[in-house]
Structure 1
Amino acid sequence: MMTMSGGVLSVLKLKSINDLKKIDFGTSVPKHSLLLLYWFANTVDLDSNNVIWLTFNPNLEDYGSHYYGNYEGMLNPLPEGYRYYTVGNLYEDTTEELPSYVRNPPREYRGRNMDRIIFRVQEQKARQTALQRIDQVYITQHYEHQGTYNPNYTYQITANLLRQIREFSVGGNQLLHLRNHFGSNANDLDLRHIRNIWGDLACLGLLLFIVIQEKYSSIQQTGKQQPKQKTRAENNKQENNKQENNKQPDNSNRPDNGNRPEITRRVENNNRPENPRRVENSISYGGASLDAPQNPSEPSEPLVDNPELFSCLFCFALICFVFYILTAF
């Protein structure tokens, strides 16, 4: 992965095996890249100062290596006295061939001859046979039909990562030590399976297991746990809703609609004295009380509904009666 910063190309550095786990091997990056990188880490020399020394001659095309001109500008321009080389083409005719686990790996790790390693070498002028110093290493992808490299899937490999990979070059009897040292979750059954598949290269098989299979198995386990967590959350939500519903008053304890206060006019009408005539006219049919038909000529309500008006009329009638008595006698 490359970015531009201040006019200088910046490539993502992989400093440890944990960084290797972040790469999408098998999807965007061929798994075969790990086999090629394993071979390279165990072919070059690495001293105690983390200086990488070249042990083969790319000018003679050892292992199919050759000069890389960086014509597309994928990497930064070379300083004086440095050269880029590339290695990894499985179809190059050379006297020094890549090992069989790189040329003919198990089917799961076969690629399409796309993965490459590019390394930058500081040229030595003193002796031609002297070891040359490597100061930069990259893994990348090459498109044969285009003759170009893919900058989006180009990563720089540090000396520390090469040193960690070299630890997997020991015999198969060190699987338990490597598993514990790198915190792998491979169980005894996994280790037995790795030995059966890879034989003397069981440590390489463990490296592939740690970088690729452990990563995808953890992703699958996480994906399987997601629905369980969601279901548990939904269950908790339903349980909380049940508790809230239990706290709400029961519908049976709600006040009856008949007890609700009515509007003022209806209350006043309920307080009026009942019409005795209407009560007397009430007839019972089979235990059910029904109102008998009233005489249309008779008013169903009192003629005077206002007490003050009734008092005035009564007083007026009384005065008229007294006046009549006085004039009569």
Structure 2
Amino acid sequence: MSGRHPIGSLVLILALTFVGAVKELNSIKDLKKITSGDSVPRHSLVLLYWFANTIEIDNNGVILLTFEPNNGDYGTHHYGNYEGLLDPLPRRGVPHRYYTLGNLNQMDNQNSAYAFPAYVTQNLHNWMEYEERNRARIIFRVSGNTGRQAGQRIDQVYITQHFESNLGQGTRYDPAHTYSITTDLLREIREFTVRENQRNSLPQLRARFGRNIDDSHT
């Protein structure tokens, strides 16, 4: 221990503090608590709404992939978790991998069947500056090899955000504004969508959370 540099020890302690310390959101009520202020980008709610209605959830509560992240569907790409934001990947057994999505710069609705719908990418200029709205991300962890036909499992889901650009943190995610999303919350959002019907569910969520979600859900 005597040879360890104090700065290195502090970094290690902070990293260990962040791992496993992510707050869990289990219901729309929990979600409302964090979206009632300015703790998360407003676009996080739209991304989560889209994600909940894109993945599948079977009768056992297992979340199934409906797209291929390794092909870049919806702008998805590998997330290395190098800063130790989330739990380390298991070293044995079934392979696991983290992916992130939500970068609006990577969307091309005209040329890809696996790109975000218009309500995610359009009419956002009324909310905030582009840099601010593009901070929101979803991170998910896949268990097993990916592939649309395989129906692979997603065993962890998070909403997060990049640090504000003026903080000089580059493209790192903010651990203080990273939240674990449970299957129960995803299921509740899906049930809400069916109950209110697809055309009206976004305006209803806007009213529920006091956010200016785009009404043009197509």
TM-score band by shorter chain is 0.7 to 0.9
For residue 114 of structure 1, what is the aligned residue in structure 2?
135
What are the Cα deviations for residues 269-316 of structure 1, in whole angstroms up to 9, with x where unaligned?
Answer: xxxxxxxxxxxxxxxxxxxxxxxxxxxxxxxxxxxxxxxxxxxxxxxx
Runs of 4+ displaced beyond 3 Å: 3-8, 105-111
Question: What TM-score, normalized by structure 1, do the two folds share?
Answer: 0.51
Counterpart Cα distance in 1 of 2:77 and 2:178: 18
Give matches, 1:296-311, under 5 Å.
none
Secondary structure in structure 1 of the residue aligned to 2:137: strand
Contact 2:107 2:116 in 1 (8 A): no
CA RMSD of aligned residues (A): 2.7
1:164/1:93 CA distance change after superposition, 3 Å: closer
**Gaps in structure 2 of 5+ consecutive residues:** 1-13, 212-218
How big is the shift at 1:107?
Answer: 4.9
> Which of 35, 38, 46 is the matching residue for 1:27?
38
For residue 153 of structure 1, what is the aligned residue in structure 2?
177
**Gaps in structure 1 of 5+ consecutive residues:** 179-199, 214-329
1:93/1:202 CA distance change after superposition, 3 Å: closer
Secondary structure in structure 1 of the residue aligned to 2:155: strand
For residue 102 of structure 2, what is the aligned residue in structure 1?
88
One-letter amino acid of the counterpart of residue 158, structure 1: T
Contact 2:65 2:148 in 1 (8 A): no
Give matches, 1:4-153, under 5 Å.
8-25=19-36, 27-80=38-91, 81-93=95-107, 95=112, 96-105=114-123, 107=125, 109=127, 111-124=132-145, 129-143=149-163, 146-153=170-177
Structure with the largest fraction of helix: 1
1:26/1:105 CA distance change after superposition, 3 Å: farther
1:29/1:128 CA distance change after superposition, 3 Å: closer
1:90/1:106 CA distance change after superposition, 3 Å: closer
One-letter amino acid of the counterpart of residue 90, structure 1: L
Larger radius of gyration: 1
Question: What TM-score, normalized by structure 2, do the two folds share?
Answer: 0.75
1:103/1:128 CA distance change after superposition, 3 Å: closer
1:106/1:88 CA distance change after superposition, 3 Å: closer
1:210/1:128 CA distance change after superposition, 3 Å: closer
- Larger RCO, structure (CA 8 Å, separation 6 or more): 2
Contact 2:160 2:178 in 1 (8 A): yes
How big is the shift at 1:11?
Answer: 1.2
